Amino acid sequence: MLGIWRLQLLREVARRGTIKAAAAAMNVTPSAVSQQLKLLEQEAGVPLLEPHGRLVRLTDAGQMLVRHADTITAAMAAAESELAATRDAITGTLRVAAFPTAARAMMPRVLAGLGARHPDLRLTFRDLETSESLLALQMGEIDVAVVDEYDEISRIRAQGIEKIAILRDPLYVAFPPGRTPPRAGVDLAALSSEPWIMDTEASTIFQVVARAFERAGFEPHIRSQCKDYGVIVALVGAGLGMAILPALALHDRPIDLRVTRTRPPLERTVYAAVRPERRAHPAVAAMLAELEVFAATYEPAPGR
């Protein structure tokens, strides 16, 4: 009979490419993984791994077993969810990640509320970019990922992941002090001669904003690029340029800037991403409910 634990080890090797990385993910030594995989090959009666440069790769038989391991892992997660639902209190550990803006603006309140409602639930939290969160979710390293999606350029297409829309987050043009933006919004073409403070080129919002400038018919004069919205706000506040910022970046932040919507409007969607077999778990359901509580009271603040 094939050992379930050994199948899970094979699955991690397939995902991560090396025995060392799989061992780190499963909190065991590389020698223990090698030993268990040799036993699995004896149980299977055929080779499951073969060298591939500095990595290892699965044979056809190994890939077939990994597909079954995925099914078994999903079934075990579903069983855990059903078992947890029979308990009077929500217990155990819930692992959560969120993209940086949500980590600052949303998660302190969300995590505090969840902890107050369910004091027996242990919460761990990681600040990760959306792509990093989705990978961690696929790898089974977290249970819930709070992610963002702007438009086709950032469309989330990760397999085996379910998205639950939480809120729509508008993008605003932030004007330096002394400038009064039109309340009805502003056409970016009218700002073609302005200097801009932008995120780094590796970020999704940079690509989205760059496309908006292109549609408006101009290439912006970028005076500065920063990863931290707090720095961007400070630079705009010092009169060094303008910026396009998501509303969450301004939420509960003391600033002295005037903002307005773009015409046409730009916005993003904030989602909670989960594995479908884990959505019914009481801890996951409680987190989704807490995110909905935040969304119900979230009000972007235009015209500051």
Q: Whole-angstrom Cα distance, residue 1 to residue 39? A: 11
The answer to whether the 89-167+269-297 and 169-266 domains have the same CATH topology is yes
Answer for the pair 225, 231: CB distance below 8 angstroms, yes or no.
no
What's the mean pLDDT in 10-22? 82
What's the mean pLDDT in 77-104? 82
From residue 174, give the alpha-carbon distance in Å to each of 105, 195, 236, 300: 18, 12, 7, 14
Answer for the pair 169, 270: CB distance below 8 angstroms, yes or no.
yes
The lowest-confidence range among 105-119, 179-193, 211-225 is: 179-193
Give pLDDT, residue 184.
83
What are the structure tokens assigned to 73, written together? Answer: 């892992």
Residue 24 has pLDDT above 90, yes or no: no
Residue 241 has pLDDT above 90, yes or no: yes
Give pLDDT, residue 144.
97
What's the mean pLDDT in 130-156? 86
- Paired with 259 in beta bridges are 174
The fold of the 4-84 domain, in CATH, is: Arc Repressor Mutant, subunit A (1.10.10)
Give pLDDT, residue 151.
76
For the chain, the structural domain boundaries read 4-84, 89-167+269-297, 169-266
The lowest-confidence range among 24-38, 76-90, 183-197 is: 76-90
CATH architecture type of domain 89-167+269-297: 3-Layer(aba) Sandwich (3.40)
The fold of the 169-266 domain, in CATH, is: D-Maltodextrin-Binding Protein; domain 2 (3.40.190)
What's the mean pLDDT in 37-47? 84
- Model confidence at 303, in pLDDT bands (50, 70, 90)? very low
Burial of 79 (0-12, 13-18, 19+ CB in 10 A): exposed
Question: How many alpha carbons lie under 13 Å from residue 245 in its C-beta half-sphere?
Answer: 34
What's the mean pLDDT in 277-303? 88
Angle value at C-alpha 112, between 110 and 114, nearest 5 degrees: 70
Give pLDDT, residue 1.
65
What's the mean pLDDT in 271-285? 91
Residue 259 has pLDDT above 80, yes or no: yes
CB proximity list for 5: less than 8 A, separation 6 or greater: 36
Q: Whole-angstrom Cα distance, residue 98 to residue 191? A: 33
What's the mean pLDDT in 274-290? 92
User: Of 80 and 276, which is predicted with more confidence?
Assistant: 276
